[in-house]
Chains A and B, each alone.
Chain A
Amino acid sequence: DGGITQSPKYLFRKEGQNVTLSCEQNLNHDAMYWYRQDPGQGLRLIYYSQIVNDFQKGDIAEGYSVSREKKESFPLTVTSAQKNPTAFYLCASSPQDRPNTEAFFGQGTRLTVV
């Protein structure tokens, strides 16, 4: 079955530590995205990538980093510089980075800083 997989589902991190969230897709999609969701809030775009070895900052990129070394994978690192990292993180992919292309979402990773 094709799909987009995020792991782990739940993640706990101590303050001051970096942590990497995994996102893998086998849909052969070119574009991938990371969104952050806070309670009672809409999704906000962190980073996106239209093609391998290229990525762009979204609306709230500070304190995050990404890489896109393979088409299938778009890991997100939450660094210690992110002041309020506790949130639900959603990864998505779409065939191309253009309107009217359905973005498929993963099941999310809930990150809690302890």
Chain B
Amino acid sequence: GEDVEQSLFLSVREGDSSVINCTYTDSSSTYLYWYKQEPGAGLQLLTYIFSNMDMKQDQRLTVLLNKKDKHLSLRIADTQTGDSAIYFCAADRGSTLGRLYFGRGTQLTVWP
């Protein structure tokens, strides 16, 4: 099956940019997603990118996709303490079905 890898921890200062990286193995994945999870809560979809795009920007969020290297990143500009959470990278299974493979999550800690 798909293997989605991401680093486990990232710490940044408030106001700095955060960059969370992800790699995946299944080249047939058509959509790649970033989810946010706050403590004890479910997942919230932040953004997604279609595999034929290389960049998507949505307010403070920028997603970069290098399809050749199967590398995805999420940049959060002007990171705030409220951005502290676990961020999951996810990839679909390359078919018409919407079930996802998830990475292990990156714990983002923002210091004031």
Q: Which residues of A contact B (CB under 8 A)?
A: 4, 6, 31, 33, 35, 40-45, 48, 50, 58-59, 90, 92, 94, 96-103, 105-108, 110
Contacts and interface: CB of A to CB of B under 8 A. Distances in A.
A100 B104 contact: no
- Among B30, B40, B90: residue with most chain A CB under 10 A: B40
Given A99-B30, A99-B92, A58 B102 contact: no
A92 B45 CA distance: 12
**Closest A-B pairs by Cβ, 9 of them:** A42-B102, A105-B42, A99-B92, A43-B102, A99-B31, A105-B43, A42-B104, A98-B98, A97-B98
B50 to A, nearest CB: 7
B62 to A, nearest CB: 19
A26 to B, nearest CB: 16
Contacts, number: 69
A103 B100 CA distance: 10
A111 to B, nearest CB: 14
Contacts of A6: 42
8 contacts: A43-B43, A59-B1, A90-B42, A100-B30, A100-B50, A103-B100, A106-B42, A110-B40
Nearest to B104: A42
Contact of A103 (B1, B30, B45, B50): B45
A101 B40 contact: no
Contact of B99 (A33, A40, A41, A105): A33
Q: Place the interface of chain B in its size category.
A: 20 to 34
Contacts of A110: 40
Nearest to A40: B104
Given A99-B31, A108-B42, 20 more contacts: A4-B42, A6-B42, A31-B98, A35-B102, A40-B104, A42-B90, A42-B104, A43-B43, A43-B100, A45-B100, A92-B43, A97-B97, A97-B98, A97-B99, A99-B92, A99-B98, A100-B98, A103-B45, A107-B40, A110-B40
B96 A43 contact: no
A107 B41 contact: yes
